[in-house]
Amino acid sequence: MSRSDGGSADGSGSDRVPSIARRVVTPFVDRSVAERLLISVAAILLSIAVGFAIVLVSGRVAQCSTAAWTMPVTGLGFCYDPFEVYLVLFNGALGYPFAIGEPGLFDPSWTPFNLSFGLTLSETTLLIFTGLSVAVAFRAGLFNIGTQGQLVVGALATALTVLAAAPFLPEGPVAGAVLIVVGTLAGAVGGGLWGAIPGALKAYADANEVITTIMLNFVAANVAYVLVLEVFRAEGSSVVATRYVPEYAQFLPWLFPQSSDFALLALLVGVGFIAGLYYLVEHTSFGYDLRTSGMQAAAAEYGGVNAKLTTVRAMTLSGAIGGVGGSLWVLMSEGRWMASVPDLGFDGITVSILAGNNPLGVLPAAFLFGLLKGGALEIGFRTDVPTELVGVLRGLIILFVAMPEFFRMFGRYAGIGSSGPGGSGGSESSAANADDDAAVADGGETDA
């Protein structure tokens, strides 16, 4: 937690550590942030390595006429080339900027405004919202597995609101802007209310939010499905979906191809949300209350934070952000609400955990997952490897990020523990408090 506006200008700091240097260095030496970053990177690398092994093994057992890759030395042939898989995954997700095997490193004809990159950014945009949704709840010490449901409800609210309001406005860009704003608000309200339910249940009935949010995901999916099926289904549609919202009420794909389902403006809105959330969490009294109750509930209570209210507020906010994600899914990607909503909410959990639940970290984490999803399509086009590999990678990343102790143990084993972040944290604090410990050792516990 570094703050850029602290302490450099006043004179008091200058006689100690040079304050400018400290300002630059602090974010990087901040133990928790640096450690999170290291663990996230290590988890990604480990997942890639395990994914590599999976591709190899399955390439060995799968059947094909010619080997795609032959292992050096052993001469074993494999149906899938694991190097190619990752090259296609990451290069393809960007629209092939790198000219593999060509004389130049870069393909000169590449522009960022290509279809593949557009798809990648489209996923990134949606994951920013679901990632932020999970992150906000996490910061308040709440595990919101219900972002998926909040997104479903928000998306439906958006679609229905825009469809209902559209006839009252003359067609055109102004009406479009109004409809987008109104629709997004409706999504926020819908998702917010859906998120408030588990928040209130947690605060006032002590119902575990993990269980209630999982259940509410199913309820949201099923109820929305039935509502659309029975009431709002578009006439003649073969799938369970609402009518399309008017073209002018959808985000326009500036610069990017129409079919990429991506609008730069939406990404900018997402980045704006990141900045806003960051500001809210780090620079407001509400954010302070939220973080403190998530970090150390007893200290928050001591500091006058109303725990119940904070829980409800955090879950409502989390749900509202998830709902806005649903709005964008409707107004940017699909143009309508339809059944089989993608697993954006669950991916949001992975994004948030990968980001260390820090709003600023959500951007790179969402982009990474955008790459995986965009790249998955390319893998399907260009290789024989099943695209479900990306789903496996997703699961592996979340598993590895969940076990920081593994990486700490590994770090200690590899001998970088003493200098590495966090390695010595435990012993430091126990040494500092040795006098207390001894007192406690004799006096029994001090009961609160």
Partner 1 sequence: MNPAVHMDGITKRFPGVVANDDVDLAVERGSVHALLGENGAGKTTLMNVLYGLYEPTEGTVFLDGEPQSFDSPRDAIDAGVGMIHQHFMLVDPMTVWENVVLGNEPKTWGGLRVDEDAAREAVADLSERYGFDVDPDARIEDVSVGVQQRVEILKALYRGADVLILDEPTAVLTPQEVEDLYGVFEELTDQGKTIIFISHKLSEALSAADEITVLRDGVNVGTVASGDVTREDLAQMMVGREVLMDPATTPQEPGERVLEVTDLRADDDRGVEAVSGISFELRAGEVFGVAGVDGNGQSQLVESITGMRDPTEGSITYLGEPMAGESRREHIDRGMAFIPEDRQERGLVMSYDLTENGILGSQHDPPFAENGRLDWRASRDHAESVIEQYDVRPPNADAEAEDLSGGNQQKFIVGREFERDPELVVAMHPTRGVDIGSTEFLHDRLLELRAEGKAVLLISSKLDEVQGLSDRLAVIHEGEFTGVVDPGTVTEEEIGLLMAGERLDDDSVEGAALHDAATDLAGDSGDEEVDA
Partner 2 sequence: MRNPLADLTIPVLDDLIESDYVRSLIVGTVGVLGVLLVFGALFPETVVGDLSGIVFSTSTAASTSRLAAPIVLAGLGGIFAEKSGVINIGLEGLLIISAFVSVYVASVVGIGNTVLGVPAIWVGFLGGIAASTALAGVFGVVCIEFKADQIIAGLAVWLIALGLAPFMSTVFFGGVNTPNLGARIGWRYSATMVVVATVASWWALNRTAFGKHLRAAGENPKALDTVGISVSKVRHAGVLLSGVLSGIGGSALALSIGQFIGSGETMVQGKGFIAIVAYLFGNYNPVGTLGAGVLFAGLDATQIRLQQLGYAVPDTLVQTIPYVVVIVVLALVGRTRLPEAAGEHYETED
Residues at the site binding partner 1, with contacts judged by CB under 8 A: 1, 3, 5-7, 10, 12-13, 16-17, 22, 26, 31-32, 283-289, 292, 295-296, 298-306, 425, 428-429, 431-439, 441-448
Round to whole Å and give the CA distance between 447 and 337.
Answer: 54
Look at residue 171 and give the partner it binds from partner 2, partner 1, none, a contact being a CB closer than 5 to 8 Å depending on partner kind.
none
Round to whole Å and give the CA distance between 319 and 130.
Answer: 9
| Stretch of 167-175, 186-194, 218-226, 307-315 lying at the interface with partner 2 (CB under 8 A) | 218-226
State the virtual CA torsion across 168, 173, 176, 180 in degrees, nearest 10: -150
CB 243 within 8 A of CB 166: no
Round to whole Å and give the CA distance between 370 and 448.
Answer: 47
List 9, 105, 205, 441, residue binding partner 2 (CB under 8 A): 205
Residue number with CB closer to partner 2 (162 or 397)? 397
State the virtual CA torsion across 378, 380, 381, 383 in degrees, nearest 10: 100
SS3 of residue 78 by DSSP: strand
Could you say which DSSP state residue 424 is in? Answer: T
Residue number with CB closer to partner 2 (9 or 231)? 231
Q: Is 201 in the site for partner 2 (CB under 8 A)?
A: yes
- Residues sharing a CB contact under 8 Å with residue 188, sequence separation 6 or more, in sequence order: 154, 320, 321, 323, 324, 327
| Nearest alpha-carbon partner for 327 in 190, 171, 176, 122 | 190
| Nearest alpha-carbon partner for 123 in 398, 394, 397, 400 | 394
CB 19 within 8 A of CB 8: yes
Residue number with CB closer to partner 1 (208 or 433)? 433
| Stretch of 67-75, 98-106, 210-218, 424-432 lying at the interface with partner 2 (CB under 8 A) | 210-218
Closest distance of CB 18 from partner 2, Å: 39
Closest distance of CB 216 from partner 2, Å: 7
Burial (CB < 10 A; 0-12, 13-18, 19+), residue 132, is: buried
Query: Count residues contacting partner 2 (CB under 8 A)?
Result: 49
Residue number with CB closer to partner 1 (18 or 415)? 18
Round to whole Å and give the CA distance between 209 and 194.
Answer: 13
Round to whole Å and give the CA distance between 44 and 40.
Answer: 6
The amino acid that residue 192 corresponds to is G
Query: Where in 34-93 is the site for partner 2 (CB under 8 A)?
Result: 54, 58, 61-62
For residue 130, give both structure tokens: 């679901």
CB 366 within 8 A of CB 351: yes
Closest distance of CB 404 from partner 2, Å: 8
Closest distance of CB 209 from partner 2, Å: 10
Q: Is 211 in the site for partner 2 (CB under 8 A)?
A: yes
Query: Where in 390-429 is the site for partner 2 (CB under 8 A)?
Result: 390-396, 398-399, 401-406, 409
Closest distance of CB 444 from partner 1, Å: 5
Residue number with CB closer to partner 2 (29 or 403)? 403
Residue number with CB closer to partner 1 (1 or 402)? 1
| Stretch of 34-42, 103-111, 315-323, 389-397 lying at the interface with partner 2 (CB under 8 A) | 389-397
Q: Is 353 in the site for partner 2 (CB under 8 A)?
A: yes
Look at residue 252 and give the partner it binds from partner 2, partner 1, none, a contact being a CB closer than 5 to 8 Å depending on partner kind.
none
| Stretch of 19-27, 67-75, 108-116, 220-228 lying at the interface with partner 2 (CB under 8 A) | 220-228
Round to whole Å and give the CA distance between 12 and 6.
Answer: 12
Look at residue 258 and give the partner it binds from partner 2, partner 1, none, a contact being a CB closer than 5 to 8 Å depending on partner kind.
none
Look at residue 45 and give the partner it binds from partner 2, partner 1, none, a contact being a CB closer than 5 to 8 Å depending on partner kind.
none
| Nearest alpha-carbon partner for 179 in 156, 203, 163 | 163
Q: Is 145 in the site for partner 2 (CB under 8 A)?
A: yes
SS3 of residue 285 by DSSP: helix
Instruction: Give the max Cα distance, the chain.
Output: 79
Q: Which residue ranges make up the site for partner 2 (CB under 8 A)? A: 54, 58, 61-62, 143, 145, 201, 205-208, 210-212, 214-216, 218-219, 222-223, 225-226, 229-230, 340, 346, 349-350, 353, 386, 388-396, 398-399, 401-406, 409
